[in-house]
C-alpha cells in the first residue's frame, strides 16, 4: 500500500515509449510502489499505435533489463498499474479521444479525478502538447491536476517567456512542476539542513570567512547518442542554465522565513537577480578533441557520430560570477562543466579565508592550507572538511587532515533523484521544482553568452578543460580543484 499522504490519482506520461520513461521513470515508479496496491495508475501516452499488452511488454523488458526486478514481479506490476493510449498525430480530436479514455480508466479504477500530466518529451513537443491538453480541457479535472515539465524549459529568454505564457494560459503556477533532476539528489536537498541547522557553518557562510566558491559538474563521457540534441544545445544550455544555476542558488541563498516552497524559491530568485552581468573575459568556452579518458583513446567531439565536422558547439563552459549582495560582495563564484573530463563528479567546494595573522614559528603563511568544505553531489554523496593539525613531534609542523561524511556509509543506498521528485509531485510539494521567474532569470543571465559566445578553445579529452580556464581563477590566488 502506498504512503497514506498520497491521494489516489492518474499519472499520465506523455512520451511513454521514449528513453526517459523507460530508463528513469519506470524504475522510480516501481520503487515507489513495487508490490500490491499503489496510490497511482499510470497511463502511457505516445504516438505509436501500440496496444496495452505491447506497451506492458515493453515496460517489463525495461524494468528487468539489469536483473534488479524479476520478470514475474515486473509483469504482475505492469498488468496491475499500466495502461496505454495512442494520440496518433496529436490532432485536437486525438486529445478529445484521450480525454474520454482517461475518464473511462478513472471509472474502472474508482479514482477520484486527481491527475499528474508528465511531459517526458523533447522540448520541441512541449508547446503542441500543452495546446492539445488545453483544447481538450485536460488542464482541469474533478480533483487536482498537476503538470510536470522536463528540461530544457526554452532555448533562450524569449522562448522561455513564450513557453511560460503558454503554460499559464491553462495552468496556474501552483500546478506546474519544472523538473531539474539535480534537485532530487540527497546532498543537494541537505544543503539547506547543512547550512541552516548548523550554526557553525552558517555563521561563516559569507564574505567575511569565504574566499571563493567553486561549483563543478564534470562528465567523463562524450556526447554519446545525444548528438542530435547536443549540437543545437551545447554545454551552456544543457548544464549551466539549469543544473549549475540551481546549485549556485542553493549555495548562496539567504535563510528563508519558513521551510515552504515559495519562501525557498523566493530566496533563490534573489540570488539570480543579484548576479552581475557576465563580461566576455569572465567566460571560457571549450570543445574536446581526441585524447585519452582512463586508459581508453577516445575521438574528439567533431569525430563523434552525428556531429558536424566543423561544429562550433561548446562542450565545456567555465564562468566567474559575482553576487552583488550584502552576504557575498567581493567573493567570486567559479562555475565549470564539461564533457570528456578526467572523471565524473559533481561538487561544491567552499574555500575559506586564511588566518589574518600568522604566529607559528618555523612556518610561513604559504605553508598552510586554508580550511575548505567540499560538498559531494555525485558519485559519492557526502561532505569533506579540510582542517589543519599539528604533526606529532617537537617542531611546529602543520598537516591538512580531512574529516568526511558519506551518506552510503551511514544510511546505505540512496533513493534515485527521480523517485524523490515523483513523490514530491504526488504530494504537491513544489520545494524542489523551478518556478517561472527562476527559469527566466537564469536565461536572462546567460543571454549575452548565447548572443555573443566567446572564442572556442580546444582541449584534449581527459584534460580538465582548456588551459585558458586557469586565467579565470588565478586572480586573487585561486585555483580549480582537480579531482
What DSSP state is assigned to residue 237? Answer: I
Alpha carbons 174 and 262: distance in angstroms, whole number: 10
The three-state secondary structure class of 441 is helix
Is 243 an annotated catalytic residue? yes
Q: Do residues 276 and 321 touch, judged by C-beta distance below 8 A?
A: yes
Residue of 337, 290, 293 lying closest to 315 (CA atoms) = 337
Residue 282 contacts residue 469 (beta carbons within 8 Å): no
- 419 in Cβ contact with 430 (< 8 Å): no
Which sign does the torsion angle of CA 10, 14, 19, 24 carry?
negative
Q: How far apart are CA 100 and CA 118, in angstroms?
A: 18
Beta strands in 255-369 (DSSP E): 283-289, 291-293, 296-298, 316-322, 332-338, 345-352
Cα separation, 107 vs 110, in Å, equals 5
Rounded to whole angstroms, the Cα distance separating 434 from 189 reads 14
Catalytic residue among 9, 81, 83, 243: 243
**How crowded is residue 424: how many other Cβ atoms within 10 Å of its Cβ?**
19
Contact criterion met (CB below 8 Å) for 448 and 241: no
> CA–CA separation, 322 vs 333, rounded Å?
6
Q: Would you call 21 exposed, middle or buried from its count of C-beta atoms within 10 A (0-12, 13-18, 19+)?
A: buried
* Helix 436-451 with 245-252: angle, nearest 10 deg: 120
Beta strands in 202-344 (DSSP E): 210-218, 283-289, 291-293, 296-298, 316-322, 332-338
Are 435 and 269 within 8 A, CB to CB? yes
What letters, b where the CB count within 10 A reaches 16 and e where it falls short, cover 104-129?
Answer: ebbeeeebebbbbbbbbbebebbeeb
**CA-based radius of gyration for the chain:** 24
Q: Which amino acids are annotated catalytic? A: 243
Amino acid at each position: 500500500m502506498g504512503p497514506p499522504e498520497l491521494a489516489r490519482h492518474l499519472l499520465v506520461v506523455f512520451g511513454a515509449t521514449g528513453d526517459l520513461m523507460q530508463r528513469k521513470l519506470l524504475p522510480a515508479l516501481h520503487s515507489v510502489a513495487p508490490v500490491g496496491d499503489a496510490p497511482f495508475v499510470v497511463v502511457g501516452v505516445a504516438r505509436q499505435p501500440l496496444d496495452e499488452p505491447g506497451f506492458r511488454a515493453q515496460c517489463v523488458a525495461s524494468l528487468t533489463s539489469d536483473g534488479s526486478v524479476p520478470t514475474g514481479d515486473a509483469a504482475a506490476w505492469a498488468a496491475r498499474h499500466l495502461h496505454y493510449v495512442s494520440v496518433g498525430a496529436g490532432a485536437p480530436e486525438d486529445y478529445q479521444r484521450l480525454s474520454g479514455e482517461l475518464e473511462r480508466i478513472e471509472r474502472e479504477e474508482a479514482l477520484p479525478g486527481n491527475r499528474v500530466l508528465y511531459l517526458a518529451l523533447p522540448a520541441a513537443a512541449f508547446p503542441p502538447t500543452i495546446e492539445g491538453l488545453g483544447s481538450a480541457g485536460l488542464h482541469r479535472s474533478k480533483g487536482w491536476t498537476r503538470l510536470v515539465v522536463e528540461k530544457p524549459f526554452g532555448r533562450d529568454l524569449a522562448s522561455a517567456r513564450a513557453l511560460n505564457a503558454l503554460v499559464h494560459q491553462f495552468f496556474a503556477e501552483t500546478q506546474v512542476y519544472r523538473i531539474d533532476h539535480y534537485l532530487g539528489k540527497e546532498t543537494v536537498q541537505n544543503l539547506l539542513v547543512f547550512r541552516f541547522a548548523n550554526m557553525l557553518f552558517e555563521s561563516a557562510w559569507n564574505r567575511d570567512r569565504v574566499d571563493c566558491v567553486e561549483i563543478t559538474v564534470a562528465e567523463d563521457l562524450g556526447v554519446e547518442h545525444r548528438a542530435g540534441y547536443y549540437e543545437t544545445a551545447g554545454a551552456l544550455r544543457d548544464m549551466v542554465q539549469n543544473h549549475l544555476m540551481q546549485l549556485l542558488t542553493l549555495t548562496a541563498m539567504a535563510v528563508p522565513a519558513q521551510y515552504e516552497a515559495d519562501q525557498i524559491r523566493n530566496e533563490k530568485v534573489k540570488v539570480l537577480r543579484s548576479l552581475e552581468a557576465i563580461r566576455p573575459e569572465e567566460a571560457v568556452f571549450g570543445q574536446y578533441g581526441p585524447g585519452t579518458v582512463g586508459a581508453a583513446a577516445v575521438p574528439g567531439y567533431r569525430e563523434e557520430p552525428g556531429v558536424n565536422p566543423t561544429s562550433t558547439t561548446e562542450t565545456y563552459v567555465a564562468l566567474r560570477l559575482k553576487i552583488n549582495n550584502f552576504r557575498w560582495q567581493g567573493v567570486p563564484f567559479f562555475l565549470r562543466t564539461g564533457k570528456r573530463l578526467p572523471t565524473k563528479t559533481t561538487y561544491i567546494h567552499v574555500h575559506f579565508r586564511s588566518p589574518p595573522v600568522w604566529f607559528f614559528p618555523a612556518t610561513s603563511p604559504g605553508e598552510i592550507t586554508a580550511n575548505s568544505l567540499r560538498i559531494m553531489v555525485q558519485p559519492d554523496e557526502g561532505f569533506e572538511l579540510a582542517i589543519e593539525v599539528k604533526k606529532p613531534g617537537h617542531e611546529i609542523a602543520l598537516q591538512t587532515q580531512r574529516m568526511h561524511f558519506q551518506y552510503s556509509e551511514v544510511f546505505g543506498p540512496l533513493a534515485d533523484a527521480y523517485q524523490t521528485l515523483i513523490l514530491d509531485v504526488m504530494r504537491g510539494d513544489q520545494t524542489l521544482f523551478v518556478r517561472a521567474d527562476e527559469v527566466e532569470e537564469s536565461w536572462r543571465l546567460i543571454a549575452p553568452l548565447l548572443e555573443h559566445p566567446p572564442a572556442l578553445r580546444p582541449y584534449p579529452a581527459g584534460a580538465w578543460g582548456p588551459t585558458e580556464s586557469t586565467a579565470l581563477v588565478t586572480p586573487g590566488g585561486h585555483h580549480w580543484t582537480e579531482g
